[in-house]
Amino acid sequence: MVPELSMNSLAEAKQLPAWDSRGVENPTPYFRLPMTEAATQFYAEHGFLVIEDAFSLESIEALRHEATTICRGDRGALKGIPPWTGTETDVEILRQILCIHFPHKISDLMFATLKANPFVEVLTNIIGPNVKCMQSMLFIKAAGKPGQAWHQDEVYIPTRDRTLCGGWIAMDDATVENGCLWVIPGSHRTGTMYFQEWHGDERFDCALEAQGFPYSNDDAVPVEVRAGSIVFFNGYLLHRSLPNYAESGFRRSLVNHYMSAESLLPWINPAGPFSVATLNHRDIVMIAGEDPYAFQGMVDVHGPHVRPDGKGGCGSNEYNEK
Ligand SMILES: O=C(O)CCC(=O)C(=O)O
């Protein structure tokens, strides 16, 4: 069941020592475009990076409007949306959805956003000249909705060269109170993958939690950002988000996942006599540069759908999708 959210957890979160009290060099993750060598270095060292004001507030307002249209089911079939009666207000609609996977499959605006200039500029610096995208997720996260436990995105989406990168657009100001991202800076560096287990913690949704990593919650920092900022984070970086403890409103974000186009993407296992070493999932969108595997063509297999939020339980706890 979704928890009675305890304000104690928020107070505890706020008491964690600040990033700059831990003697971490170059403590500020906040940069602006144009991209600089310092920002590229920061990402390599700490595994994340914030680009402030990457999107104008007009663009963010358009994304918010589009999010509501998608959640209403007005951009086409969306597996898992409740059977709306047509009388619900926007707020009533949005309050019932935690997250939608692959919104770019039904929305021209979300599709265009995959390749928006701030993404191209940053990704071609932190990944390389050839970049592809394989996934988008639209988080609505209304007040009272759960967060996601500690995890690394490469556990779900494996690259061959550790280039997976989330590009997380804040569609509202994201704060500790309303469930911003938390990261463990530098936790991506060794490239160790931490296997996941069911957490049984009602603050989090049905996705599993990384186990056995050599860090504690005291090593984590909140990434509070203004609407319009993008948080970039490496696929091996341990990150999580806490519930939305605010009394009302939403913590909306659109997160797209990118990687180098040179890396194969052994994500979905097709039936057939293939070695895992040659698997290359082709439900992708090219973002920049050349596609060395263009000769393999493209497929369209992922459908947009609503992610379970744990309300009513997590079933067999086997939900294991990014
Ligand atoms: O937005 C959130 O609350 C969690 C996002 C996340 O963990 C991810 O995109 O991997």
CB of 239 within 6 A of ligand 1: the answer is: yes
The dihedral sign for the CA sequence 283, 286, 291, 295: positive
Pairing type for strands 305-306 and 99-101 reads antiparallel
Evaluate: CB of 241 within 6 angstroms of ligand 1: yes
- CA 225/CA 175 separation, integer angstroms: 7
Lowest-pLDDT choice from 23-37, 66-80, 114-128, 214-228: 23-37
Distance CA 196, CA 61 (A): 36
48-51 and 239-241 beta bridge pairing? unpaired
Pocket test residue of 137, 176, 257 for ligand 1, highest count of atoms within 8 A of CB: 137
- Per residue in 135-177, pLDDT tens? 999 999 999 999 999 999 999 999 999 999 999 999 999 999 9
Q: Is residue 300 part of a domain?
A: yes
Any domain includes 144: yes
* pLDDT classification of 191: cutoffs 50, 70, 90: very high
The rounded Å distance from CA 305 to ligand 1 centre is 16
- Written as six digits, the tokens of 221 are 């920092």
Task: Name the band, by pLDDT with cuts 50, 70 and 90, for residue 3.
Answer: very low
Residue 188 lies in a domain: yes
Kindly state the DSSP code that residue 295 receives in the 8-state scheme.
Answer: G
| Residue 234 located in a structural domain | yes
Average pLDDT, the chain: 89
> What is the rounded average pLDDT of the residues 8-36?
60
**Which residue among 97, 100, 134, 148 has the greatest number of ligand 1 atoms within 8 angstroms of its CB, and so is best to mutate?**
148
Give me the CATH number covering residue 215.
Answer: 2.60.120.620
Residue owning the nearest CA to atom 3 of ligand 1? 241
Which ligand 1 atom sits nearest the alpha carbon of residue 255? Answer: 9
Query: In the prediction, which pLDDT does 23 show?
Result: 45
With respect to residue 319, please indicate whether it lies within any of the assigned structural domains: no
Note whether residue 2 is domain-resident.
no
Residue 239 CA to ligand 1 center (angstroms) comes to 8
Q: Which of 97, 101, 145, 181 to mutate to test the pocket of ligand 1 (most atoms within 8 A of CB)?
A: 181
Instruction: Tell whether 186 is covered by a domain.
Output: yes
Of 138, 176, 241, 319, best ligand 1 pocket probe by most atoms within 8 Å of the beta carbon:
241
Query: Which letter does DSSP use for residue 18 in this model?
Result: P
| Cβ of residue 172 lying under 6 Å from some atom of ligand 1 | no
Name the β-bridge partners of 139: 99, 253
Give residue 270 CA to ligand 1 midpoint distance, Å. Answer: 27
- If one counts the domains in the chain, the total is 1
Q: Report which of residues 27 and 309 the model is more confident about.
A: 309
- Residue 107 · residue 234 · CB < 8 Å: no
Whole-model pTM over 0.75: yes
Please indicate, yes or no, if residue 10 is contained in any of the structural domains.
no
30: β partners: 50
Phi, psi of 290 (to 5 degrees): -100, 150
Give the residue whose CA is nearest to atom 2 of ligand 1.
Answer: 241
> What is the residue with the minimal CA distance to atom 9 of ligand 1?
255
Question: How far apart are alpha carbons 308 and 306 in whole angstroms?
Answer: 7
Whether the CB of 153 sits within 6 Å of ligand 1: yes
Average the pLDDT over 40-65 and give the result. 96
Provide the domain limits for residue 117: 40-306
- Weakest-pLDDT range from 75-84, 114-123, 165-174, 313-322: 313-322
